[in-house]
Structure 1
């Protein structure tokens, strides 16, 4: 072979080797890319991250970790930005910027995760002194999570590493406060703050928080950097410096499919690829944790994955001994993650993992975690009070340095505010004197229902004095002097003041009338107006009734014009019993379903005399049972009113039970208020429905002896006749009370979410005022067209939370259902809204009786009818004169 052939042969071999090398590199690169894709998929699944670089000047992306950091300007308004001394600079960017708090005893970060309350979160705070203040001074201060102490931060000036404190916290509030408290041993500071949504992970303690003490990645190299996000979907920080006695490391490069596993702890692949096992000749791994263990409780998790291919016929089997107690037998599957635990231990954590006698291989352990259970002895301030004081702070733009975090705990630091010692605490005193407040008196003040003393003196407040102040049960001091309030002082406040129940100060309001003559003038002005309105209303009622009679829309006798007593209006129901065979025949073998509720399905039926009926058939799987069936039958046999659905008959044959009602051609109110409803209710029809429903409820409360509480009043239980007359249905949950003032603790469920009285939900005390609250929500639906729970991007918002800021802004146009296109009387709309808000205070004693609500609603309806008549007259005049005189009278 000559030299040219030899060179050609070498060239061919070289090319083949290059191709093989490239193929190998590409396959490794493809595997790496696949693994990275899986990591990123895991990471994007858990997007509930808040990452704050405390003291940074701008947002940025950390390309090493893939974490997007925000500045803290949107999370805290106090403190100042600093940077560590140049000689202390670290490679990690967020550790070099510092937020320091030289002023104020407590400074709080406000975190509002989009997942909201009743969720599990991992919170972590980073501290690196770095001699940022050039004082070379040791720093010590307290760190609080909400109202409970989390840790004492103790930073030695010689520390050249970052200290971090982490906690897994189940939040019962939508807002999480992380507070730094000055204890007199140094100026509080912070470098970074993380919040991670932990979804449905098993890291949870409903009675407290979990404080990570050890998160050990076993078998890794000491030179490795810690494993965290993006490798770890929860962004845990895994340590490599934990050694088990007499152990050796093992590892694999093979991929472990954590995405396909059902392991809820979701450990990173990098953590599971390494492990430890006993040295040759040993069959046990052991560890003892004794730091900070006195009177402590711990949770321990063990994490395994078999990373060695075991020969056929061999097994790796082991037991776990924890503080002297044995658990197991355990075996592992190749490359499949397994978490064992959590185990709860007292005072110490001492464990050993031991091979069984029949095991062919020693035990292994890939990782383990130890959490200390942190108690939460204090509850945050009553949520109603928190919402109220936050609304007050926003309404008056109060920017006090100490108005941050929880208002009452861990100690009252909000200037001008005092709380009681209840658990949860309540706000009992608020002093905003000389605070440059302007505008009307905020309605949010009326939601501080435990308040005893309120001082708003020497401000620039305008408008009238709310009469609702007299309804605050514990208010004994009300100072409003030195403002610009106008109008008359409410009679109820003057009566409380005259009786000595209230210290009332009103001096310095030059345009505020405190004399009884104001009331007399007001009354003398209102009498002719009211008289004229009533006369017009009566005339309009007569015209309307005759008009409806003419069009066949109303079936009433002339005697109804002058009014009948409740007894005379009662119609004796025949309440005939039906056999089940007759029920099948009436419904044509249950052919047409017209509704469904907790009792069962409702079918359309036809009696022999041609009357249409609605047949509610008992379902064996329903939430209501035989007791509720009998309750509804008994009530409907004795309760009769034109605004209550009438019972035609019933069937009670063993398991076959049914109720036969009069048929309501227009279905229920909920359907009429849906966005896709074809026949939208106009403003007057809505008011008439409100009056009808109020009449029915008022009869149950005040016309029945003993009074009856409906307990599940809602729009789907307001049924409508062909002429849109409203009738209350579904008495399956109703209770009759022995006396009007009687209330009971109810243990069985009552009500529908969104309509439930918050006082009843909190205490279980049920009375007539619980129905009044539900009726208020019903009115709010009629006015706004919104459901009680409004669906949004961040879950559901209660209708009262939605409407409250609009009320404070006085934006009635945004409150009223936009589908009405402005076709309503503005004064009437405000009155309807005032009636609504009077029904829904959190305390039942503040709510009016249904008879008062009914009277107010009738006035509101009369106002609307009078407005319509005025508009009609204007249109007629303009037609006669040939001019356009009534373009917009509303």
Structure 2
């Protein structure tokens, strides 16, 4: 059903991996962080390599399975195949053999297994076998030729930290596998009511190369097969300089979206479809459209089309504009005997209909629940500890036909299976009795007889009620006191010396007194602490994440909306009380909003602030946010527009402090970790613990002790103790350089260097591309980038008189942002607004079904 005879053939991509520069290589490595690529059968001494045609790094499967045999495919089948297809791992022994792969809990993965026989066993006998995902059958593997490749692909949301892919011998030949690949997807992608979608087909309509498209063109390494339906012809974009933004949740590859098919005849239609082998299968499909024809000046052209499914029209017509991308999908799966689509021109359209690509998936329900996770972990630990050589592969209890030897499980149909009996007699066990057995909390029968175990029986097993266990035939297990207590008659136990009894009684009395005293002291201290805490309400000027976390964790819900409170910074309270409502700039300065001191936060608000901070900032603030994991356990890189927007917000906040407050305020501690983002990435400036106010009528500066964070402190202020508004400008310049470069204020490579020195050394050689964060992958307006770097360098001038004021900085940054926005005006964004549910076209009723 998903057979792919040419998908793993080697061919050169448009941009060979070996030709990538440092920035592009960094970009590909960043995208591959969610990739797991296993070359099955690759010898451990050749533990990894990089596939030349894709740039993907493959590793040996030796650390993912401990069974099977490694073999080479026959030489005549290696010539034009990717290196990952040269080896296979076969499993001549055992019924079920499995790979166990560590994954991110609650993440969504594209999982792909590929098989090429290649006469690896010199028998020329094509095998057939089953493929399982965890405890459930995924699909059957049937090969039709020695050189043909069969690929099975499924999108699956994992619930645990381990994923099992198993091959099951069905009596039709020895199971084998060539490649196993996992690609982590955003959890928001392919959002359906099912946790598992099996690929039926993924088509690139109108391909100009007639080659498959995959990574690096497709950032998720989906494989797109070229296709031109009967009665259609190819249409390609004339200009390849235009760029389609792939920031949407589908991340469609430009190589696919730059080609399409249109009807061969005027007034014709584009027709395609499929007939499933099983008409009960439930399908989801995704249709992708992007206008390729740039309108000429003065001409009026319109591409509008009607989509019909099995003879029924999907409601209204759909239209496209140049470079716009449209995704049409359904929210509820459909079961049909046949799926036939027809795309035709509407009466108002001046251009023929087109389609660029499509995907179809069917629901694979995977009904079996896996064994209880605690039981599963305990059994895996026992397997590892005792090196058990039985059929202990895959899930412990399910499917029931493949339950681990020596294990009995309980099945009640509504909850996960549990291990209730474990027979490890005559299993060659040595060493101590593992405490992991105690983790089998539903265990009722345990047989460890006739092994070479030694040491004590764990006390938790001895005290477990309802457990029947046998240790007969382990001569060394009773060489300890614990065993003696279990097996010897009480009347034969040695009496304790007479002096031990009063000594034990005295010690017990002392312990009892100490315990009671400690409990009283604990209760007293707890009440005393609660008495202090209950009267605190966090005001706008209570600064510091540590204070928020402490008080959020200790404030009871009864503290919500209290009418009294105090500020931890009386001086700032006085400053705030002098502000009028007109003066407030609530969008740019947050402490966590620069509001009057009588503003009180409720308990719920504090929880929301703290949780929101950790969700959006990680645990160390914006200084790490734009470098690392933002959400969904997948790498997130802020775009150039996002970064400029953040910079403008922070600059406006400082401008407000300097010119909008009476009296003016100097922040004194501007740094990345004092920049907070809301859920929409609007920046707020916080951390006012070191801020100072001054009377502008008495001068433009003040003498004060040095305060701030190393790397951000104005060097002129540091040497003179004279604090001015330009000190904040310097600190902001450092923050701006961090935003631009993704490097810290103090760069610790071979020697410590300030970020401003590093930037200036490259700027003097006009190497702007080496200054910018390579994870941007060149997606920015060069003029905007150069201007932004110039602004930052001007802010960090050693002479404060050469630095611009914050009003000038705000104006310049807005110009840079406008240039970037203008550049992106013509770039389509695949967003929820451009993803339409085709079910809407049928009103409240589903489409008629063929019978």
Q: 5 Å matches for 1:833-852?
A: none
**1:135 equivalent in structure 2:** 123
Change (3 A) 1:518 1:465: farther
Change (3 A) 1:526 1:409: farther
- The answer (yes or no) to whether the contact 2:409–2:421 under 8 Å persists in 1 is yes
The answer to whether 1:112 aligns with 2:112 is no
> Among residues 41, 44, 49, which one is paired with 1:55 in the alignment?
41
CA distance in structure 2 between the partners assigned to 1:304 and 1:36 by the alignment: 34
Give the deviation of 1:90 after TM superposition.
3.7
- The answer (yes or no) to whether the contact 2:375–2:418 under 8 Å persists in 1 is yes
- The answer (yes or no) to whether the contact 1:127–1:164 under 8 Å persists in 2 is yes
Q: 5 Å matches for 1:293-372?
A: 293-311=278-296, 312-323=299-310, 324-343=312-331, 344-347=333-336, 348-372=338-362
**2:258 equivalent in structure 1:** 273
Give the deviation of 1:488 after TM superposition.
8.5
Equivalent residue of 1:375, what SS?
A: coil
CA distance in structure 2 between the partners assigned to 1:332 and 1:617 by the alignment: 55
Q: 5 Å matches for 1:556-567?
A: none
> Among residues 44, 51, 64, which one is paired with 2:53 in the alignment?
64
The answer to whether 1:178 aligns with 2:120 is no
> Among residues 193, 197, 201, which one is paired with 1:210 in the alignment?
197
Equivalent residue of 2:402, what SS?
A: coil
CA distance in structure 2 between the partners assigned to 1:330 and 1:440 by the alignment: 71
Give the deviation of 1:386 after TM superposition.
0.7
CA distance in structure 1 between the partners assigned to 2:557 and 2:275 by the alignment: 70
CA deviations 1:16-44 (Å, max 9, x no partner) are xxxxxxxxxxxx999x9999977973673
- The answer (yes or no) to whether the contact 2:561–2:602 under 8 Å persists in 1 is no
- The answer (yes or no) to whether the contact 2:288–2:357 under 8 Å persists in 1 is yes
**2:559 equivalent in structure 1:** 617
- The answer (yes or no) to whether the contact 1:219–1:274 under 8 Å persists in 2 is yes
**1:75 equivalent in structure 2:** 64
- The answer (yes or no) to whether the contact 1:486–1:511 under 8 Å persists in 2 is no
Q: 5 Å matches for 1:359-508?
A: 359-396=349-386, 398-400=387-389, 402-410=391-399, 411-422=401-412, 423-469=415-461, 472=464, 474-479=466-471, 481-486=473-478
Q: 5 Å matches for 1:17-166?
A: 41=27, 44-57=30-43, 58=46, 59-92=48-81, 93-113=83-103, 116-156=104-144, 158-166=145-153
CA distance in structure 2 between the partners assigned to 1:220 and 1:590 by the alignment: 59
Change (3 A) 1:134 1:531: same
CA distance in structure 1 between the partners assigned to 2:75 and 2:538 by the alignment: 88
Give the deviation of 1:403 after TM superposition.
1.7
Query: Which of 98-107 and 43-52 deviates more?
Result: 43-52
Q: 5 Å matches for 1:160-309?
A: 160-205=147-192, 207-221=194-208, 224-240=210-226, 242-255=227-240, 260-309=245-294
CA distance in structure 1 between the partners assigned to 2:316 and 2:25 by the alignment: 32
Change (3 A) 1:435 1:518: farther
Q: 5 Å matches for 1:644-655?
A: none
CA deviations 1:225-272 (Å, max 9, x no partner) are 2111111111111111x3324211100253477673442111211111
CA distance in structure 1 between the partners assigned to 2:601 and 2:238 by the alignment: 67
CA distance in structure 2 between the partners assigned to 1:263 and 1:107 by the alignment: 39
Q: 5 Å matches for 1:624-639?
A: none
Equivalent residue of 2:118, what SS?
A: coil
The answer to whether 1:528 aligns with 2:502 is yes
CA deviations 1:476-505 (Å, max 9, x no partner) are 444455242348898xxxxxxxxxxxxxxx
- The answer (yes or no) to whether the contact 1:169–1:204 under 8 Å persists in 2 is no
Give the deviation of 1:365 after TM superposition.
0.2
CA RMSD in angstroms comes to 4.5
- The answer (yes or no) to whether the contact 1:595–1:602 under 8 Å persists in 2 is no
Give the deviation of 1:513 after TM superposition.
3.9
CA distance in structure 2 between the partners assigned to 1:289 and 1:472 by the alignment: 59
CA distance in structure 2 between the partners assigned to 1:280 and 1:155 by the alignment: 39
CA distance in structure 2 between the partners assigned to 1:367 and 1:658 by the alignment: 51
Q: 5 Å matches for 1:621-700?
A: none
Equivalent residue of 2:141, what SS?
A: strand
CA deviations 1:127-178 (Å, max 9, x no partner) are 111222222212111111111111111123x443211111111111111111
Change (3 A) 1:333 1:256: farther
Higher relative contact order (CA 8 A, sep 6+): 2
Equivalent residue of 2:37, what SS?
A: strand
CA distance in structure 2 between the partners assigned to 1:425 and 1:264 by the alignment: 36
CA distance in structure 2 between the partners assigned to 1:197 and 1:470 by the alignment: 45
**1:678 equivalent in structure 2:** none
**1:517 equivalent in structure 2:** 491
Change (3 A) 1:292 1:64: same
- The answer (yes or no) to whether the contact 1:320–1:353 under 8 Å persists in 2 is yes
CA deviations 1:365-387 (Å, max 9, x no partner) are 00001111111110111101011
Equivalent residue of 2:314, what SS?
A: strand
Give the deviation of 1:427 after TM superposition.
1.0
Change (3 A) 1:416 1:340: same
CA distance in structure 2 between the partners assigned to 1:602 and 1:71 by the alignment: 50
**1:6 equivalent in structure 2:** none
Change (3 A) 1:370 1:313: same
Change (3 A) 1:438 1:306: same
Give the deviation of 1:333 after TM superposition.
2.9
CA distance in structure 1 between the partners assigned to 2:164 and 2:499 by the alignment: 53
Equivalent residue of 1:345, what SS?
A: coil
Structure 2: runs of 5 or more not aligned: 1-13, 564-599, 604-618, 620-851
Equivalent residue of 2:368, what SS?
A: coil
Larger radius of gyration: 1
- The answer (yes or no) to whether the contact 2:448–2:471 under 8 Å persists in 1 is yes
Change (3 A) 1:486 1:36: closer
CA distance in structure 2 between the partners assigned to 1:294 and 1:587 by the alignment: 63
Give the deviation of 1:204 after TM superposition.
4.3
Equivalent residue of 1:47, what SS?
A: helix
Equivalent residue of 1:229, what SS?
A: coil
Equivalent residue of 2:239, what SS?
A: coil
Equivalent residue of 1:291, what SS?
A: coil
CA deviations 1:72-99 (Å, max 9, x no partner) are 1111111111122233334222222121
Equivalent residue of 1:484, what SS?
A: helix
**1:789 equivalent in structure 2:** none
Change (3 A) 1:194 1:327: farther
CA distance in structure 1 between the partners assigned to 2:429 and 2:365 by the alignment: 40
- The answer (yes or no) to whether the contact 1:43–1:232 under 8 Å persists in 2 is no
CA distance in structure 1 between the partners assigned to 2:602 and 2:88 by the alignment: 71
TM-score, normalisation: structure 1:
0.54
Change (3 A) 1:326 1:83: same
Give the deviation of 1:340 after TM superposition.
1.8
- The answer (yes or no) to whether the contact 2:233–2:261 under 8 Å persists in 1 is yes
- The answer (yes or no) to whether the contact 1:487–1:512 under 8 Å persists in 2 is no
Change (3 A) 1:591 1:519: farther
CA distance in structure 2 between the partners assigned to 1:658 and 1:62 by the alignment: 56
Q: How many residues align?
A: 539
